[in-house]
Structure 1
Amino acid sequence: MNINYQHGHTSGAEGLRDKKNGTVVIMEPCPITALGIGNRLTEFCDYQKDSILQVRSLAELKPVLALHQPRLLIMELCGKSESVLDGLRLIADMHDQVPHTTLLVCTALDEPRVLRQVIASGVRGMMLKQEPAVALDHCVKQVLAGEKGFSHRIRQRGLHEAAAEKPLTARELDVLTQLFSGKSVTNVALTLCRDIRTVSTHKRNAMLKLGFHNDGELYLQGKWMAMNGPSFVR
């Protein structure tokens, strides 16, 4: 299924209400993958076609969330020309902006550090695209029942235990974004109008949460955070 959302478009809105499971939004940059997710939802999770909306980027997702307040969001961590840091920031914002939307992350990025960080940010469930399609059915049914919906592979690796960890703060995400754009700590402080010691503290705290011990590890092993693409999907 590939229902494209256009800003300001409301035709068919009546059909999106009063469905058994409410509205679901799929944020997935690959139309083929989005089609597959939509088909699983209609065939195995009791969703009707007219209750499913599909967008391809975080930028498109924001107005959809504000307008429809969906019960369920299934999302990749970023879209074309967006980064994982953008996805982490949106997930953090969702708790305040759409608190009643249940979030299930379905990602191709098999990087333990980012998966643990996403789980720490409070998502209801997570699965990897490399897993069988039946994993999606299981996770969706679990989260709609008010439970945690982590796939077998996520649990097998113990990643679901990251829920007790501390997520990156908005300031830490801002600092990381600036650092990965090529700026020094001094330039980041100037850009964000913050004291250099404050920026250094944010950087250090972010590195601790992500499990990096020095700048070399941050920039070499943490390059997935600044990926535009999503390169890991192609």
Structure 2
Amino acid sequence: MTIAHTYHRVSAPSPHPYGQKGESVIVMESCPITALGMRNILAQSCGFADGVQLVSNLSEIPGLMHHRPAKLLIMELCGEEESVLDGLRLIALCLEHWPSTSMIICTALDDPRVLQLLTASGIKGLVLKQEPAVALTQCVQQVISGRRSYSHKVRQLLSNQSSGGKALTARELDVLSYLFSGKSVTTAALMMHRDVRTVSTHKRNAMHKLGFQSDGELYLQGKWMAKTGPVFAR
């Protein structure tokens, strides 16, 4: 059974060395059934019987983190009316403001370009929803033990990617958002109060990190990252 289809009634969990009483976990997943399944995995296999908060949108996470930083944040890259670019921004925000929180991305997205960006971003774990439920269990256990964990399928998808990738910067994400919304580089520069040459450099760097060789590739193959809604069925 895959992570995306895991849902069963939780029996009383036995004591477990990974989760500790009083530690909080945030799970961001827009599908209620998948979210409940993930909470069950955390309770039964990872020892997090209490303190698991389920949210359905990225926008809910900063407020919760300001109130009480979580030990572990497990999230999809976007919720309803949110985009993958929004998810990449939130990852950067959390890593900057709450570096002690371990982040795991559990996603249906299997685009190697974006998976490489994620591994370069500083997250601790990466697993695909299409994988067996045990993949999430193993990822959580390894991350809580202080190790990075990329699932078997993720490693397979990344095997043909060049090593040494870099994460997109906040400015590069802003530039992509403007461009994908139909703005020109000149208009983006005006709206960002930046020189056109600076914005062009951000665009070029973003294209390089994503592996796009031309504007045509960027718009045809990358524009889905700014879409809201069911972006994984592109």
Structure 2 CA distance for aligned equivalents of residues 54 and 159 of structure 1:
33
Give CA-to-partner distance per residue, 1:58-81, whole Å, 9 cap, x none. Answer: 111110111121100000001111
Structure 2 CA distance for aligned equivalents of residues 170 and 131 of structure 1:
30
- Match of 1:105, SS? strand
Q: TM-score, normalised by structure 2?
A: 0.87
Aligned residue identity for 1:215? D
Structure 1 residues 191 and 119 mapped into 2: Cα distance closer, same or farther (>3 Å)? same
The 5-angstrom pairing of residues 152-171 of structure 1 reads 152-158=152-158, 164-171=164-171
Deviation of 1:118 after TM superposition, in Å, equals 1.2
Does the Cα contact within 8 Å between 1:83 and 1:230 map onto a contact in 2?
A: no
Give CA-to-partner distance per residue, 1:144-163, whole Å, 9 cap, x none. Answer: 00001111111223369878
- Match of 1:222, SS? helix
Note if 1:194 corresponds to 2:203. no
The 5-angstrom pairing of residues 39-118 of structure 1 reads 39-48=40-49, 50-118=50-118
Aligned residue identity for 1:137? T
**What is the aligned length?**
216
Q: TM-score, normalised by structure 1?
A: 0.87
Structure 2 CA distance for aligned equivalents of residues 80 and 109 of structure 1:
15
Give CA-to-partner distance per residue, 1:107-130, whole Å, 9 cap, x none. Answer: 011111111111111110100000
Deviation of 1:231 after TM superposition, in Å, equals 2.9
Does the Cα contact within 8 Å between 1:154 and 1:160 map onto a contact in 2?
A: no
Structure 1 residues 26 and 159 mapped into 2: Cα distance closer, same or farther (>3 Å)? farther
Does the Cα contact within 8 Å between 1:81 and 1:230 map onto a contact in 2?
A: no
Deviation of 1:224 after TM superposition, in Å, equals 2.5
Does the Cα contact within 8 Å between 2:116 and 2:158 map onto a contact in 1?
A: no
Give CA-to-partner distance per residue, 1:82-104, whole Å, 9 cap, x none. Answer: 11111101111112211110000
Aligned residue identity for 1:142? Q
The 5-angstrom pairing of residues 140-159 of structure 1 reads 140-158=140-158
**Structure 1 counterpart of 2:35:** 34
Does the Cα contact within 8 Å between 1:189 and 1:196 map onto a contact in 2?
A: yes
What do you get for the CA RMSD once the two structures are aligned? 2.0
Provide structure 2 residue ranges, at least 5 long, that are not aligned to the other structure: 1-18
Structure 1 residues 162 and 83 mapped into 2: Cα distance closer, same or farther (>3 Å)? farther
Structure 2 CA distance for aligned equivalents of residues 43 and 159 of structure 1:
32
Structure 1 CA distance for aligned equivalents of residues 152 and 29 of structure 2:
22
Structure 2 CA distance for aligned equivalents of residues 164 and 178 of structure 1:
27
Structure 1 CA distance for aligned equivalents of residues 159 and 69 of structure 2:
28
**Structure 2 counterpart of 1:172:** 172
Structure 1 CA distance for aligned equivalents of residues 51 and 160 of structure 2:
29
- Match of 2:186, SS? helix
**Structure 2 counterpart of 1:227:** 227
- Match of 1:66, SS? helix
Note if 1:123 corresponds to 2:128. no
Structure 2 CA distance for aligned equivalents of residues 217 and 168 of structure 1:
17
Does the Cα contact within 8 Å between 2:225 and 2:231 map onto a contact in 1?
A: no
Structure 1 CA distance for aligned equivalents of residues 28 and 183 of structure 2:
30
- Match of 2:73, SS? strand
